[in-house]
Copies of this chain bind each other. A is one copy, B any other.
Amino acid sequence: MKIEEIGGEFALIRRLSEIVPTTGPEVIQGIGDDAAVIRVAPEPAPFLLVTTDILVEERHFKRAWASPEQIGIKAAECNVSDIAAMGGRAQWMFVSLVLPRDTDVAWTEALYGGIARSCRHHNVALLGGDTTRGAQVTINITLLGSVSPDHLRLRSHARPGDALVVTGSLGASAAALALLGAGRSPSAYLLEKHLAPSCRMDVASRIAPLAHAMIDISDGLGSEVGHICTASRVGAEIWAAAVPLHDEVRMAGRLLGVDPLQWALGGGEDFELLFSITPANIPRLKAAGVTCHEVGRVTDRTGEMVLISGDGDATPLGGGYDHFKE
Contact = CB atoms under 8 A, between A and B. Distances in A.
B1 A115 contact: no
Interface string A1-45: 111111001001101110111111011001100011010110001
A41 to B, nearest CB: 4
A126 B40 contact: no
B30 A125 contact: yes
A19 B116 CA distance: 7
B27 A127 contact: yes
B140 A22 contact: no
Given A101-B324, A103-B2, A134-B138, A128 B51 contact: yes
Counting chain B CB atoms within 10 Å of each CB, the highest count among A19, A56, A98, A136 belongs to A19
Interface residues of A, number: 81
Contacts of A129: 13, 31, 52
A13 B131 contact: yes
Given A94-B50, A96-B52, A112-B16, A125 B324 contact: no
A144 interface: yes
Quick one: copies of this chain in the complex?
A: 2
Contact of A142 (B94, B106, B125, B324): B94
Nearest to A51: B128
Given A19-B116, A20-B112, A59-B134, A50 B105 contact: no
Interface in A101-117: 101-106, 108-109, 112-113, 115-116
Nearest to A10: B131
A309 B112 CA distance: 43
Given A3-B101, A54-B132, 14 more contacts: A2-B102, A3-B99, A3-B103, A20-B116, A24-B91, A31-B127, A48-B48, A52-B128, A52-B129, A54-B140, A59-B132, A59-B133, A59-B134, A138-B138
Interface of A: 1-6, 9, 12-13, 15-17, 19-24, 26-27, 30-31, 35-36, 38, 40-41, 45, 48, 50-60, 91-92, 94, 96-99, 101-106, 108-109, 112-113, 115-116, 119-120, 124-136, 138, 140, 142, 144, 146, 323-324
24 contacts: A2-B101, A2-B105, A4-B101, A9-B131, A15-B109, A19-B112, A20-B119, A22-B126, A23-B125, A24-B125, A30-B128, A31-B127, A31-B129, A38-B144, A40-B45, A48-B48, A50-B92, A52-B94, A54-B140, A56-B132, A59-B133, A59-B134, A135-B136, A140-B140
